[in-house]
């Protein structure tokens, strides 16, 4: 309303009147804040003063210092309505200054805003207003700035709001956008702090929600995937599988097939989930996604290692007929040829080959029982009779023939 009055006066050529009105409004707001500081201002007076400050700021007439607005925010922690208005006034002040803010000022804003939204976690408008402010404050931090623990706390708080207001429609979507903006540029260790902020029992739910919301940010999703190992080690694998973690991981692998780091982290998560619930991982497309990762990233030993571990768990624990056996042989042998000097790749690939052979034998016994006749084994399926055709090129002096002759002693151990 104030901004419209100023604009109308200016349009009529009443510049002096507009300036006087602005100065008078600024003075009134300042006096209201002084009364608030002394404890004699009512809620409506403070709310009107904050609206006046916001309107003047949007009109290009900053009248209140950031420290004064933050003081109002702290003094009125008991009122979510005043918290909302104070956050809007602070946000307007920052936008007027091009979101340029010092590290000290950013810390002050984060501290004051977080205190308010933690106090009023169920107030939707405050959660939304504060999350936008937090996202802009953190986005304005200088590149390469030291890791700020308050940033992880802000992300964790907004994540909890996203879960609480999951059915909020457009509002929930805006909260999710704020979460991604706050979290995307945080270092990898911050992801652990975000998930741990709410206690161990809630971490699986927070992990799944964070992984789901970060689909548009491969760097954030990669950091979240790396946190899964701790949850899996704590016994939350079945819980994650039940909550749809395998589907989220496979979807990310399909969305970012060329992101080497994400593919590795995703394969590691799939291996852990498959160990707890192999059928769930296979139904989600985990086998095909892992095979694709191995196919696209064979030059990278560390991706091959993660993918082979995932394949090994699936091959060992999947009780039904294993699909894509021919491709699995080819991909595993391809990894061996690519990394003959990597002991971990060699050991794990050898375990995968043995698991594949065992799976083929089970299928042959099943067919034999069904038909009552002998089953002719193809060269690829001969575990004791020499190398598969996929390794035919290794026949003359290749190290693969001597190391992986299928009737020789197994090299290395298991996982």
pLDDT digits (tens, 9 = 90+) for 379-409: 333 222 233 333 333 333 333 333 333 333 3
Q: Phi and psi (nearest 5°) for 361?
A: -65, -40
Q: Among 265, 285, 317, give the residue marking a domain's end.
A: 317
Contacts of 382 (CB under 8 A, 6+ apart): 388, 406
pLDDT at position 1 over 80: no
pLDDT at 171: 83
- Segment 271-300 shows an average pLDDT of 95
Are 324 and 287 in contact by the 8 Å Cβ rule? The answer is yes
d(Cα 76, Cα 46) in Å, to the nearest integer?
9
- Say whether both 202 and 300 belong to one domain: yes
pLDDT at 25: 77
- The model's pTM is 0.76
Between the CA of residue 186 and those of 31, 91, 167, 223, what are the distances in Å?
Answer: 41, 22, 27, 9
Token readout for 95 is 């936008």
320 secondary structure, DSSP code: S
Please report whether residue 389 resides in a domain: yes
Q: Tokens 């992990």 — which residue?
A: 207
More confidently predicted of 147 and 50:
50
Cα angle for residues 170, 171, 175 (degrees, 5° grid): 120
pLDDT at position 54 over 80: yes
Q: Considering only 96-100, 121-125, 312-316, which range has the smallest mean pLDDT? A: 96-100
364 by Cβ neighbours in 10 Å (0-12 / 13-18 / 19+) ranks as: middle
**pLDDT-based confidence at 169, cuts 50/70/90?**
confident
Q: Among 265, 296, 317, give the residue marking a domain's end.
A: 317
In this predicted model, what pLDDT tens digit does every residue of 119-147 receive, in sequence order?
999 999 999 999 999 999 887 765 545 44
pLDDT at 26: 76
pLDDT at 185: 80
Please report whether residue 347 resides in a domain: yes
- Say whether both 286 and 263 belong to one domain: yes
d(Cα 226, Cα 194) in Å, to the nearest integer?
13
- Say whether both 286 and 403 belong to one domain: no
pLDDT at position 350 over 60: yes
pLDDT at 142: 54
Chain center to CA of 335: 29
In this predicted model, what pLDDT tens digit does every residue of 208-256 receive, in sequence order?
999 999 988 999 999 999 989 889 988 999 999 999 999 999 999 999 9
- Say whether both 214 and 195 belong to one domain: yes
d(Cα 19, Cα 80) in Å, to the nearest integer?
33
Between the CA of residue 210 and those of 13, 113, 240, 289, 307, what are the distances in Å?
Answer: 54, 22, 13, 21, 23
Are 294 and 331 in contact by the 8 Å Cβ rule? The answer is yes
- Say whether both 281 and 333 belong to one domain: no
Q: Among 283, 317, 351, give the residue marking a domain's end.
A: 317
d(Cα 361, Cα 262) in Å, to the nearest integer?
35
Between the CA of residue 257 and those of 151, 284, 306, what are the distances in Å?
Answer: 30, 16, 15
- Say whether both 305 and 340 belong to one domain: no
pLDDT at position 410 over 50: no
pLDDT at 20: 55
Q: Identify which of 27-41, 167-181, 256-270, 367-381 has the greatest average pLDDT.
A: 256-270
Q: What is the largest CA-CA distance in the chain?
A: 104
- Segment 279-291 shows an average pLDDT of 95
Token readout for 17 is 């009147």
- What torsion do the CA atoms of 4, 10, 15, 17 make, to the nearest 10 degrees? -40
- Segment 162-181 shows an average pLDDT of 87
In this predicted model, what pLDDT tens digit does every residue of 354-380 receive, in sequence order?
998 887 665 555 555 555 554 444 433
- Segment 55-66 shows an average pLDDT of 78
pLDDT at position 62 over 50: yes
High-pLDDT (> 90) share of the chain, %: 47
| Average per-residue pLDDT for the chain | 80
Into how many domains does the chain fold? Answer: 2
d(Cα 298, Cα 339) in Å, to the nearest integer?
9
pLDDT at position 15 over 80: no
- Say whether both 208 and 303 belong to one domain: yes
Question: Domain range for residue 392?
Answer: 324-415
């Amino acid at each position: 309303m104030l901004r419209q009055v100023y604009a109308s006066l200016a349009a009529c050529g009443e510049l002096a009147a507009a300036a006087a009105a602005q100065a008078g409004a600024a003075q009134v707001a300042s006096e209201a804040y002084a009364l608030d500081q002394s404890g004699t201002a009512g809620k409506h007076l403070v709310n009107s003063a904050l609206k006046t400050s916001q309107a003047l700021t949007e009109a290009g007439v900053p009248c209140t210092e950031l420290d004064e607005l933050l003081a109002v925010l702290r003094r009125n922690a008991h009122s979510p309505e005043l918290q909302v208005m104070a956050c809007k006034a602070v946000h307007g002040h920052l936008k007027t200054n091009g979101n340029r803010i010092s590290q000290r000022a950013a810390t002050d804003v984060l501290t004051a805003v977080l205190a308010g939204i933690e106090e009023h976690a169920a107030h939707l408008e405050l959660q939304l207003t504060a999350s936008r402010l937090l996202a802009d404050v953190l986005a304005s931090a200088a590149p390469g700035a030291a890791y700020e623990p308050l940033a992880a706390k802000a992300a964790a708080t907004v994540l909890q709001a996203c879960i609480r207001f999951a059915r909020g429609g457009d509002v929930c979507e805006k909260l999710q956008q704020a979460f991604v903006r706050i979290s995307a540029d945080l270092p990898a260790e911050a992801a652990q702090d975000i998930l741990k902020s709410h206690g161990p029992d809630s971490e699986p739910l927070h992990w799944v929600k964070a992984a789901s919301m970060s689909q548009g940010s491969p760097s954030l999703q990669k950091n979240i995937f790396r946190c899964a190992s701790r949850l899996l080690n704590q016994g939350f694998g079945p819980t994650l599988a039940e909550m749809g973690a395998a589907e989220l991981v496979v979807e990310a692998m399909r969305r970012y097939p060329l992101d080497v780091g994400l593919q590795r982290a995703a394969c590691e998560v799939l291996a852990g989930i498959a160990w707890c619930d192999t059928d769930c991982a296979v139904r989600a497309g985990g086998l095909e996604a892992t095979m694709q990762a191995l196919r696209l990233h064979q030059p990278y030993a560390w991706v091959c290692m993660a993918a082979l571990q995932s394949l090994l768990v699936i091959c060992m624990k999947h009780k039904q007929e294993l699909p894509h056996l021919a491709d699995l042989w080819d991909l595993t042998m391809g990894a061996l040829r690519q990394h003959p000097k990597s002991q971990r790749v060699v050991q794990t690939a050898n375990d995968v080959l043995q698991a594949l052979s065992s799976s083929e034998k089970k299928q042959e016994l099943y067919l034999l029982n069904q038909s009552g006749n002998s089953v002719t084994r193809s060269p690829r399926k001969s575990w004791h009779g020499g190398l598969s055709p996929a390794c035919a090129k290794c026949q003359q002096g290749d190290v693969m023939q001597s190391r992986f002759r299928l009737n020789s002693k197994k090299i290395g151990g298991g996982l």
